[in-house]
Every structure is written in structure tokens, then in C-alpha cells.
Copies of this chain bind each other. A is one copy, B any other.
Amino acid sequence: ELRDEILGWFGQDDALNPADFRSRGEAWEPLAGRTALVTAGPTHEPVDPVRYLGNRSSGLQGYAIASALAVLGARVTLVSGPVMLADPAGVDVVRVETGVEMERAVRTALPVDIAVCVAAVADWRIDGVSDRKIKKQAGAPPPVLTLVSNPDILAMLAAPGPERPALVVGFAAETNDVEAGAITKRARKGCDWIVANDVSTGTNVMGGQDNRVILITEDGPERWPLLAKTDLALRLAERIAAWFGTPVMATGGDRV
């Protein structure tokens, strides 16, 4: 039933092996009393009323992490870009389209104890979105799309301040020098952990069911085996629970 809970929205049943999990009993909720924010999916940055710049994120990994954190007892807000996935059970879902909308929804969700930024937010949006469909003009050269930087949600969350979550986890999708790129990204963004994966063509990570990552913490890189995205989500959620240590409400019995 725990398995059902995490897999219900997922529509499948492969590779999740919550054996460790079960041995602790179904009521094991080490994140009870904690709040978490997860971002997931791509963003779509409009060019005009019909065209957009997008990316191939399916949202699966982020939805799985939101679900796993909720299963472990956290109160989770999932800010999701446009994906074809149903809302995970027990998670508050806020759906957005663009990076600017995602940043606004994230700020609204603060403060939280845990932030996990899985969304593949577009680094850039189109400068000067047209409110009319851009027409092909015979003989005229194609338009040039000028880009401007989108808000950096991970850096915003990781910046010191009264609303900084206790633990800020970023994802890095890399196609080259995955580990080195992720170590640099962790330092540059100021986040606590980076989960780095290789999204090169052929790895089938984007849109696929499995994921192989390197977790970068203050202790250095840690290579995880190839895991189903649901398994990876549970493992990450358990790591987060371990990082926090004693549950907030260890003595309480009043949490439903």
C-alpha cells in the first residue's frame, strides 16, 4: 500500500523495491512536521501565441521525489511545468508554464525546510514575445530569436537569508564532464547538494524510466547505481530524512 501510494500516480510498478522501507513499518514518517518544495518538469517559454522554446524533461523524476518526500511524512508543494502526469497523491501541486511563473510560485511556497529543484527551467526566455503569430514573409530572412536570462530559481533559494531552506538540493543535467560540471555548479549556486545526471542522447534519461546519478555533497561525489526514477526518489528522500536526523514530532501522535 505504501508502494501503491508512491506508484499510484505513476501508472506502473517496475523496479521499486521498498524492502528497507517496509521493515520500518508503514507509519515510519521521519519527515513528519517538515515542509518541502519540489520543482519539476520543463518550462515553456513563448515565442508568440503558438510557438515556444521547450525542453525534453518529462517531470517523472521530480514527481517521484515529491511523492517520496510525502510518503516519508513531509508536507510537500510541487511546482510543476507543463507535463503529462497526474498530481501525486498527498502533494499540493501548482502548475505553471514559464520560468518567471515558476519563480513566482516558488517564492509563494516559502518558507520551507527542504527545497529540491528538479525542474529543467529554461535558462533563457525570448526577448520580446510577439502577441501575434510571427508570419513567414516571402523573400525576407528568418527572424532571429534574441534571448534573455530567466530567473535562477536554485540560486535564489540557496542564497543566504531568513527564508533559505535548511537543505537546498539542485539537479544538474549535463552532457559532458558530468561530475566536474556538477561540483562547479554546487559551488556557484551555493546549494547544499547537487544530483547530477548525464542526459546525453542515448542515455535515455529524459523521458525514460531509469536514472543514474552522482550525488555531490559537502563530502564529495558519490556514484549511485542505475535506478528506477521511483527508487532514486525514495533513496534521496531517505537521505534527506537522515540529514535532518530526529523527526520533529518524534513524540507526537496527532499527525494524520
Closest Cβ neighbor of A188 among chain B residues:
B138
Q: Is the CB of A49 within 8 A of B144?
A: no
| A143: contacting residue among B124, B131, B188, CB under 8 A | B124
The distance from the CB of A151 to the nearest CB of chain B, in whole angstroms, is 12
* Cα separation A142 to B206 with both chains bound (whole Å): 24
Give the CA-CA distance A39 to B143 in the complex, in Å: 25
Q: Is the CB of A200 within 8 A of B49?
A: yes
- Given the complex, which residues of B lie within 8 Å of A51, measured CB to CB? 53-56, 122
For residue A149, CB closer than 8 A to chain B, the reply is: yes
Given contacts A133-B173, A142-B147, A146-B144, contact A47 B53 (CB under 8 A): yes
Q: How many A residues touch B, CB cutoff 8 Å?
A: 39
Q: 0/1 per residue, A44-63, Cβ < 8 Å to B?
A: 10010111111111000000
Q: How far is the CB of A147 from chain B (nearest CB, A)?
A: 4
In the complex, what distance in Å separates the CA atom of A199 from the CA atom of B135?
A: 14
Give the nearest-CB partner of A123 in chain B: B136
Chain B CB within 8 A of A234 CB: no
Which residues of B are found within 8 Å of A124, using beta-carbon distances?
A: 136, 142-143
Residues of chain A from 185 to 228 with CB closer than 8 A to chain B in the complex: 188, 199-201, 206
Q: Which B residues are in CB contact (< 8 Å) with A120? A: 50
Nearest-Cβ distance from residue A61 to partner chain B, whole angstroms: 14
CB distance from A31 to the nearest CB of B (A): 31
A108 within 8 A of B: no
User: Which residues of B sit under 8 angstroms from A174, Cβ to Cβ?
Assistant: 133
Q: How many Å lie between the Cα of A145 and that of B207 in the bound state?
A: 25
The interface bits of chain A over 19-58 (1 if a CB of B lies within 8 angstroms of the residue's CB, else 0) are 0000000000000000000000000100101111111110
Please pick, from B44, B132, B133, B144, the residue contacting A147 in the complex, using a CB distance under 8 A: B144
Can you name 18 A-B pairs with beta carbons within 8 Å? Answer: A50-B57, A50-B120, A50-B199, A50-B206, A51-B53, A51-B54, A51-B122, A52-B53, A52-B54, A52-B56, A53-B53, A54-B54, A131-B201, A132-B176, A133-B199, A142-B148, A143-B147, A144-B144
Other 14 A-B pairs with CB < 8 A, given A133-B174, A136-B149: A51-B56, A51-B122, A52-B54, A53-B53, A54-B54, A84-B84, A123-B136, A123-B142, A124-B136, A132-B175, A133-B199, A142-B148, A142-B149, A144-B145
A residues contacting B by CB (< 8 A) are: 44, 47, 49-57, 84, 120, 122-124, 131-134, 136, 138, 142-149, 173-176, 188, 199-201, 206
